[in-house]
Amino acid sequence: MLAVHQSRINYVLHLADNALIIGHRNSEWCGHGPVLEQDIAITNIALDLIGQARNFYQYAAELIGNNTTEDTLAYLRDEREFKNCLLAEQPNSDWAITILRQFFFSTYQYFFYQKLQYSNDVQLSAIAEKALKEVTYHLRWSSEWAIRLGDGTEDSHQRMIKAIDNLWMFTGELFLAVNYEKIGVNEGYGVDISLIKNDWMKKVTDAFEEATLALPPDDVWMQRGGKEGIHSEYLGHILAEMQYLQRAYPGAQW
Amino acid sequence: MDDFEKNFQGKIDAEIKIEPKDWMPEKYRQTLIRQISQHAHSEIVGMLPEGNWITRAPSLKRKAILLAKVQDEAGHGLYLYAAAETLGTTREEMIDQLHSGQAKYSSIFNYPTLTWADIGAIGWLVDGAAIMNQVMLTRTSYGPYARAMVRICKEESFHQRQGFDILLTLSQGPDAQKNMCRDAINRWWWPSLMMFGPKDSDSTHSDQSMKWKIKRMGNDELRQKFVDMIAEQVKVLGMNLPDPDLKWNEEKNHYDFGEINWQEFWNVVKGNGPCNKQRLDARKKAWEQGAWVREAALAHANKVKLQTHKGTLEAA
């Protein structure tokens, strides 16, 4: 029973961490975007994602009890306890990489939340329903930009090719279930992510075609580990920055 | 004064808003372009000192509020650039002038945000000072500018409250947080007073702007209103303002306050503030590194247009 409960907590934390970490990455653009309207758009997406993260953390805190809050979960856990996918933590680099990262991730979230709406966990189902409205916009925005950059100029096209080369290896993990996800499926509250892979691939293939971009070959090695706390070196730096005040002034109210 | 100008001043005197297609003196147009673009640039450059704390905000709630606030400022920049464009300039021209140093932005943003308390102090003092000016500008004589200000003022009062709330929380915390709060107030107080500009007696643009009702209150009057407001609010924080001369004057029904360091004021205006170079470099870098993105968007839009055109021809 205890193990089952812990699985649910891990599952919720995984969803929260995904949203927080990619939201945090997007927030790094605020004030530095390539054009004012898009600065606003990427910040808006960051806000939505951090909002989703808060909903999941608040629910996880409720499941854990013991005075746990959304902030103790976000600010007082270490790298190895974070369960986000590797894709979410990849650096912004340039606008092409940020856009492609968001497009891959929003496509995933779009199909994922559609299914999570039917979770037998009413909290998860409610969060998914609300988040889906936001993600529908994120997907439209990021796919339009992916197409624009792929099809735009020779320079933007080359940058998108480089972005694909940088990020494709992190997309496999999105559809490979770890233990707590498998338990979630068995218990009826989790999504069978292997079932959304084809939808994801079709959406990406269509957008790439319009963007005049080639899909990578099937045999690209896929990295994994994030969901089980084995991250890239980038996450530690994100957390060092994000958690600094909470760590420096333990117990303080802000 | 010719008939056009008489008619124009007549409208101003009758409190009729001037609209983009109306005749206006060239100097009125130029003054407004200068002022509105400077205001727009201030919103955009102002995103940087606060943006400095987005990734380090101490709770998820504070992070979300700060992100929303900085995003609001980007939105204000947009309205204002659009208002200035109605006067016959373009956003690109205005941005070029910012980058070349020809156009100014509010000097306050050339000070660094060193601690989390600075985010509170900016909201409370800097946005508080800005609101004084902006509320006045909701009644400015140029229609598009006045209307932009109405929208902006609604959001700014929320910004000021969130800033005060950050400081209130810190002021009730342990000594380390109280000190953080006090230090931020000490550093931001005088620069906030400088935001109202030189004394009316030293201001080059004031007289004509008052006559045209671009401005409706003098710098000194607005500054005094601000001092009176903050001197009361600071009591709620249990803190003091760093001015030994600050005291209530029964006779004048206002607070007296000390002399601003005008040498520092002019020095920062001239570009020698602690962050002038850093802020401008950050803006230029964002613009230059975004050039390929803007070019790609344009190229794609042109291709789509061409295809649609071709499609229409084929269908015909």
B224-270 pLDDT per residue, tens? 999 999 999 999 999 999 999 999 999 999 999 999 999 999 999 99
Average pLDDT of the segment spanning B110-114 = 98
Q: Which residues of B touch A254 (CB under 8 A)?
A: 58-59, 62, 116, 166, 169-170
Q: Which of B59, B176, B293 sits opposite A95 (nearest CB)?
A: B293
CB contact under 8 A, A53 and B292: no
Q: Which residues of A touch B170 (CB under 8 A)?
A: 254
- Does A137 fall in a domain? yes
* pLDDT digits 0-9 by tens, B155-170: 888 899 999 999 999 9
- Does A70 fall in a domain? yes
- The answer on pLDDT for B313 being more than 80 is no
Closest by CA to A128, choosing from A142, A115, A141, is: A115
CA atoms in the 13 A half-sphere facing the CB of B14: 8
Q: Chain A window 175-204: which residues touch B at a Cβ cutoff of 8 Å? A: none
Q: Chain A window 32-71: which residues touch B at a Cβ cutoff of 8 Å? A: 32-40, 43-44, 46-47, 50-51, 53-54, 57, 70-71
- The answer on pLDDT for B67 being more than 70 is yes
Q: How far is A44 from chain B (nearest CA, A)?
A: 8
- Does A133 fall in a domain? yes
Banded pLDDT at B207 (limits 50, 70, 90): confident
The whole domain housing A195 covers 2-248
For B59, nearest residue in chain A (alpha carbons): A71
- Does A254 fall in a domain? no
- The answer on pLDDT for B204 being more than 80 is no
- The answer on pLDDT for B312 being more than 80 is no
A216: CB partners within 8 A, 6+ apart: A164, A165, A168
Average pLDDT of the segment spanning A16-24 = 98
pTM, rounded to two decimals: 0.96
- The answer on pLDDT for A1 being more than 70 is no
Is residue A25 within 8 angstroms of chain B, CB to CB? no
For B56, nearest residue in chain A (alpha carbons): A242
Place of tokens 């909903």: A55
CB contact under 8 A, A95 and B63: no
CA dist B2 → A80, B8, B9, B27, B32 (Å): 77, 10, 11, 15, 21
Q: Which residues of B touch A51 (CB under 8 A)?
A: 64
Which residue type does B243 have? D
CA atoms in the 13 A half-sphere facing the CB of A74: 35
CATH code at position A226: 1.20.1260.10
The pLDDT value given to residue B316: 64
How many structural domains does chain A have?
1
- Lowest mean per-residue pLDDT among A173-182, A194-203, B84-93, B302-311: B302-311
A33 SS3 class: coil
Most confident of A137-141, A250-254, B200-204: A137-141
- Does A125 fall in a domain? yes
Q: Which of A47, A148, A151 sits opposite B68 (nearest CB)?
A: A47
- Does A253 fall in a domain? no
B268: CB partners within 8 A, 6+ apart: B107, B110, B191, B194, B276
B249 SS3 class: strand
- Does A29 fall in a domain? yes
Neighbours of B151 (CB within 10 A): 13
The pLDDT value given to residue B307: 85
- Does A51 fall in a domain? yes
CB contact under 8 A, A47 and B71: yes
Q: What ipTM was estimated for this complex?
A: 0.96
A196: CB partners within 8 A, 6+ apart: A108, A111, A112, A115, A175
Residue A196 is given by DSSP the state G
* pLDDT digits 0-9 by tens, A185-199: 999 999 999 999 999
- The answer on pLDDT for B142 being more than 80 is yes
Instruction: Give me chain B's average pLDDT, please.
Output: 95
CB contact under 8 A, A27 and B67: yes
- The answer on pLDDT for A79 being more than 90 is yes
Neighbours of B30 (CB within 10 A): 13
Q: Which residues of A touch B71 (CB under 8 A)?
A: 30, 40, 43-44, 47
Average pLDDT of the segment spanning A75-103 = 98
Average pLDDT of the segment spanning B183-192 = 98
Average pLDDT of the segment spanning B143-152 = 95
CB contact under 8 A, B286 and A149: no
